[in-house]
Amino acid sequence: MQTTLRFRVSLSDAVASEAWRQIDILRQIRNHAVRDYYNADYNDQPSDYDQHKRLKQWGNRWPTFAVPSQHAAQQAISQIHTDLDGLEERRNNGYDVGRLHWQGRGEFRSVSYNQPCRWNVDHNTGGERFVRFRLEKIGWFRIRANRPVPDADEISEAILKKQKTGEWYLSLVVEVENTPAKPGLDEIGPQDCVGVDLGITNYIHTSDNLPVGTLDLSDEYERLRREQRKLSRKERGSHNWEDQREQVAKAKRKSSGKCLITSTN
Cα separations (Å) of 63 from 66, 88, 221? Answer: 5, 33, 46
Instruction: Give which of 4, 1, 23 is closest to 135, Cα–Cα.
Output: 23
Return the bridge partners of 173, or none.
4, 157
Say if residue 264's pLDDT is above 70. no
CA atoms of 25 and 89, how far apart (whole Å): 29
- Residue 77 near residue 29 (C-beta atoms within 8 A): yes
- CA of 62: how far to CAs of 24, 66, 139, 149, 201, in Å? 14, 8, 24, 38, 62
User: Rounded to whole angstroms, how far apart are CA atoms 11 and 94?
Assistant: 45
53-62 per-position pLDDT tens digit: 999 999 999 9
Least confident range from 4-18, 120-134, 145-159: namely 120-134
Q: How far apart are CA 160 and CA 209, in angstroms?
A: 42
Q: Quick one: which of 75, 78, 57, 165 has its CA closest to 118? A: 75
What is the pLDDT averaged over residues 79-89?
96
Cβ distance 169 to 181 under 8 Å? no
Q: What is the pLDDT of residue 263?
A: 52
Quick one: pLDDT at residue 217? 81
Reference 101, options 82, 84, 76, 78; nearest CA is 84
Question: For 138-159, what is the mean pLDDT?
Answer: 95
> Is pLDDT at 237 greater than 90 in this prediction?
no
| Residue among 208, 204, 207, 221 nearest 255 (CA) | 221
8-12, 249-253, 254-258 — most confident range: 8-12
Q: Which residue has the higher pLDDT, 262 or 221?
A: 221
199's CB contacts (< 8 A; 6+ apart) are 205, 211
Phi, then psi, of 166 in degrees rounded to 5? 95, -5
Alpha-carbon distance 133 to 120, whole Å?
A: 6
- The per-residue pLDDT for 191 is 85
**Contact at 8 Å (CB) between 77 and 111?**
no
Left (φ > 0), alpha (ψ -120 to 50) or beta: where does 182 sit?
beta
Assess whether pLDDT exceeds 90 at residue 260: no
- With both helix axes pointing from N to C terminus, report the angle between 218-232 and 239-264 in degrees, rounded to the nearest 10: 170
From CA 158, how far away is CA 151, in angstroms rounded? 12
Residue 154 has pLDDT above 70, yes or no: yes
pTM (2 decimals)? 0.81
- Residue 48 · residue 80 · CB < 8 Å: yes
pLDDT for residue 32 = 98
Q: Give the per-residue pLDDT at 67.
A: 97
